[in-house]
Structure 1
Amino acid sequence: MTSAEPSTGTAAPSPATSDAASAAGQKLPLSALLALAVAVFITSLTETLPAGLLPDMSAGLHTSESATGQTVTIYALGTVLTAIPLSAATASWPRKRLLLTAMAGFAVANTVTALSANYPLTLAARFLAGVAAGLAWALLAGYARRMVAPHQEGRAIAIAMAGIPVALSLGVPAGTFLGQVVSWQAAFLAMTALTVVLLVWITAVAPDHPGQETAGKIPLRRTLRVPGVTPVLIVTLVFVLAHTLLYAYIASFLDDIGMGDQVDAVLLVFGVACLISIWAVGTCIHGHLRTLTVVSTLLVGVAVAVMGAFSGADAPVYVAAALWGLGWGGVPTLLQTAAGQAGGEAADAAQAILVTLWNVAMAAGGIAGGVLLNAVGADAFPWTVLILLVPVLAIVLAARSHGFPATHTSANS
């Protein structure tokens, strides 16, 4: 999900837990949910921060910028390789302890990254950060859902996922600024300091929930046979691939159309629109998941069409960025919720697979985007994204009974 984007190892809540959530009525545990949002912010920013610090990191590590750029790739690789097996191995752990362990991993990884002048050691630290991200992403959505009553699940996930656009629109520019004014090491140490504060925050306010009674191998085949799970996972893979193609190379695209000096402004518009989208999805998702997913897909489609057709003028590109953010901002919440509801008793396995596919799609988007840029040119990005969105919309519309149902079903598991 970015890392994402995106409740592995969660068990069905006990009657006492369900009663407590119901008794809470409309009151959301905002302090605990905001702690999860900060955790999402840290995972997202840790992944993408090297992109804004690349020249200085390269000089400090005595490597080329292309080699230093692999610190982002190795992070994604750590998540892809370990999310499913580690989520299965830690399925019986209490949720609070597991989250604290994952975030402590970020503190160690970012500290080592800041202090290391050795390229292999830096890669090892970044791999550890990716492992921590795999654990965190597979846990966070389910943790948020279990803090609230069933009708508040979508809103709770939306609050937790708000950390993604904040990291992309504000965190990366702030980290880049700190790296330029002080040093790139200071940016990573600031992440460590924030993580330490978060560890205290989680310890103080986050409720605990038990894991599964037994841990073991995640049943991939059985999970994929659950009605609705496969459509959600395919939509996740293709939608994230489409988004990443454009987002990873937005600077190249804007430079190609003569807006290379406005990258920060375009991304700021995108980020603000993402926040609005998250709020809207969190407010309306209960009973409207299918409609919101269709609308999100259409908004991103219209955005890239405008971007491709009117790339000769600045104003339409800003309008397209706003539409893109409005469409994309709520997607992590929508897909996490859809996977949890479709998975039912297999929600933990569905979430672990989703996290893995999300990171596979991000890595594939970066690679495919580079190939597309060299082979065709930056002007091909919007139209390629538009083509990829066609099967996304078709699958969402077809999965009317399961996956993206016309009626709401809760799966607070």
Structure 2
Amino acid sequence: MAQHTASTPVASHLGRDRLPGRALFGLFLSGFVGILTECLPAGLLPQISRTLDTSVALTGQTVTIYALATALGAIPLAQPTAKWPRRRVLLIALATVAVANALTAVTDDYAVAMAFRFAAGLGTALIWPLLGGYAAQLAPEGRQGRAIAIALAGTPIGLALGIPLGTWLGGIGGWQFAFYAATGLTLLNMAWVRATLPDLPGRLAGAPLKLSRALGVPGFRLILFALAAYMIAHNIVYTYITDLLDYVGMGEQAEWALFAFGVTSVLSVIVVGAQIDRHLRMLTVGSTLLFAAGVLVLALVSGSPVLVYIAVAAWGFAFGSSPSLFVGAAINATGKSADVAQAITITVFSASIAIGGLVGGLLIAGPGTASITWASLMLLTAAAIAVIGGKRHAFPNT
């Protein structure tokens, strides 16, 4: 049987011209599980803090340490596992997340809980870099972008639904029930992956992963810069969205505003995913500018619920497909170095989540809540300049 690198579609070798929906759903669910596990404690902090006998602020670090593990682990774990069969790596990663979630639910010790959360983050550090390349290998020629969009859609949907889902599950049976439910979903995900995904080979021997090789690819560093600016801008505002909505006079409607964000995020995945192969550059430029427009409205408008809803909905539509757009650009630019490039991309993505939350907190504590929108706009301006200016290598016309 012929072997394939991460940049070689296998669907064409198998005579397929349709997207493998069941296999892509397994990848989608894997991404959703990863981000759900990250967000799960955020809506359950008071309950968890009582069990662990710590403050809510300290309990909140269970989210931070997960993101930190994902950021720190993506590249070191991608390199030694690069030659392993892809399905095996995914199953090991999902098993790590499942076990860590189950053990977190039974502990009442803060340090032990933090250790289990770190372990879960390492599992996700293996999952996220795998999804884009796996999807591209499964897709027929010319449809890799759409396959990547489907596989990565679990991330924005998980970001939109993770906190309210965790809160709802915690209300039914306590925070431990929420973690057991996440464990059960992960086990179902493993069964689906085992049944539907082909065990594609990893990188060929003699083709080592090198950071310098990937970073030296023309356009890749510009993609990373644009991604970092975009994601930090998002997390500066999104992490403190309830404070911002309260500032503009819509604190009592925060749940509905977040619902609007989630709905348009999902809609973005559907609409953009259908066009991503043909219009990657145009869609990335549009996403960045639409996001900036939404944040600008939030910065200027106060006391107008209709305009705030429109701004949040526009922001959600811009953000929903952004992981697929930036990962797709990275895969297109790096070719045979796509494996390590995806690990680097996920590291930047995860680090940007942590940096955005930190910067947003410092801004609120200093200049005040209004400053987070202007800081976000400055970063989005930089991202837009990078995306629009990267016409040759980073974001070329397709």
Q: TM-score, normalised by structure 2?
A: 0.96
The one-character-per-residue Cα deviations of 1:279-331 (angstroms, maximum 9, x if unpaired) are: 12211111211100000011001100111111221111100011001111111
The yes-or-no answer on 1:90 pairing with 2:84 is no
The yes-or-no answer on 1:115 pairing with 2:98 is no
Given the alignment, which residue of 274, 284, 290 partners 1:283? Answer: 274
1:85–1:218 CA contact under 8 A, matched in 2:
no
**Structure 1 residue 391, shift from structure 2 partner:** 1.1
The yes-or-no answer on 1:183 pairing with 2:174 is yes
The yes-or-no answer on 1:19 pairing with 2:12 is yes
2:224–2:345 CA contact under 8 A, matched in 1:
yes
The one-character-per-residue Cα deviations of 1:15-66 (angstroms, maximum 9, x if unpaired) are: 8x35335x321x2111111111111111011101111000000001000111
**Structure 1 residue 215, shift from structure 2 partner:** 8.1
Q: Quote the residue 1:378 is aligned against.
A: 369
The one-character-per-residue Cα deviations of 1:50-95 (angstroms, maximum 9, x if unpaired) are: 1100000000100011110110111011112211011001001000
Q: 1:130-169 to 2 correspondence within 5 Å?
A: 130-169=121-160
1:91–1:216 CA contact under 8 A, matched in 2:
no
Question: What amino acid does structure 2 have at the position aligned with 1:343?
Answer: T
User: Counterpart of 2:265 in 1: which secondary structure?
Assistant: helix
Q: Return closer, same or farther for 1:259/1:85 CA change in 2, 3 Å cut-off.
A: same
Question: What amino acid does structure 2 have at the position aligned with 1:296?
Answer: S
Q: Quote the residue 1:303 is aligned against.
A: 294
**Structure 1 residue 174, shift from structure 2 partner:** 2.2
2:97–2:186 CA contact under 8 A, matched in 1:
yes
Identity, in percent, stands at 44
The yes-or-no answer on 1:332 pairing with 2:323 is yes
1:92–1:215 CA contact under 8 A, matched in 2:
no
CA distance in 1, matches of 2:7, 2:294: 40
Q: Return closer, same or farther for 1:227/1:377 CA change in 2, 3 Å cut-off.
A: same
1:254–1:263 CA contact under 8 A, matched in 2:
yes
Q: Quote the residue 2:213 is aligned against.
A: 222
Question: What amino acid does structure 2 have at the position aligned with 1:20?
Answer: H
The one-character-per-residue Cα deviations of 1:98-123 (angstroms, maximum 9, x if unpaired) are: 00011001101110111111111100
2:103–2:116 CA contact under 8 A, matched in 1:
yes
Q: Quote the residue 1:70 is aligned against.
A: 61
**Structure 1 residue 181, shift from structure 2 partner:** 2.7
User: Counterpart of 1:79 in 2: which secondary structure?
Assistant: helix
CA distance in 2, matches of 1:235, 1:291: 15
Q: Quote the residue 2:235 is aligned against.
A: 244
RMSD: 1.6
Given the alignment, which residue of 180, 198, 214 partners 1:207? Answer: 198
2:272–2:283 CA contact under 8 A, matched in 1:
yes
Question: What amino acid does structure 1 have at the position aligned with 2:137?
Answer: R
In structure 1, the gaps of 5 or more residues are 1-9, 409-413
CA distance in 1, matches of 2:342, 2:55: 36
Given the alignment, which residue of 339, 355, 368 partners 1:348? Answer: 339
**Structure 1 residue 13, shift from structure 2 partner:** 6.2
CA distance in 2, matches of 1:313, 1:133: 40
CA distance in 1, matches of 2:16, 2:204: 26
Give the number of equivalent residue pairs: 395
1:294–1:393 CA contact under 8 A, matched in 2:
yes
1:303–1:320 CA contact under 8 A, matched in 2:
yes
**Structure 1 residue 216, shift from structure 2 partner:** 8.8
2:7–2:336 CA contact under 8 A, matched in 1:
no
1:52–1:176 CA contact under 8 A, matched in 2:
yes
User: Counterpart of 1:284 in 2: which secondary structure?
Assistant: coil
Q: TM-score, normalised by structure 1?
A: 0.92
CA distance in 2, matches of 1:398, 1:171: 35
User: Counterpart of 1:405 in 2: which secondary structure?
Assistant: coil
User: Counterpart of 1:377 in 2: which secondary structure?
Assistant: coil
CA distance in 1, matches of 2:137, 2:86: 10
Given the alignment, which residue of 351, 368, 373 partners 2:359? Answer: 368
User: Counterpart of 1:404 in 2: which secondary structure?
Assistant: coil
Q: Quote the residue 1:411 is aligned against.
A: none
In structure 2, the gaps of 5 or more residues are none
Q: Return closer, same or farther for 1:181/1:18 CA change in 2, 3 Å cut-off.
A: closer
User: Counterpart of 2:200 in 1: which secondary structure?
Assistant: coil
2:248–2:301 CA contact under 8 A, matched in 1:
no
**Structure 1 residue 159, shift from structure 2 partner:** 1.3
**Structure 1 residue 189, shift from structure 2 partner:** 0.3
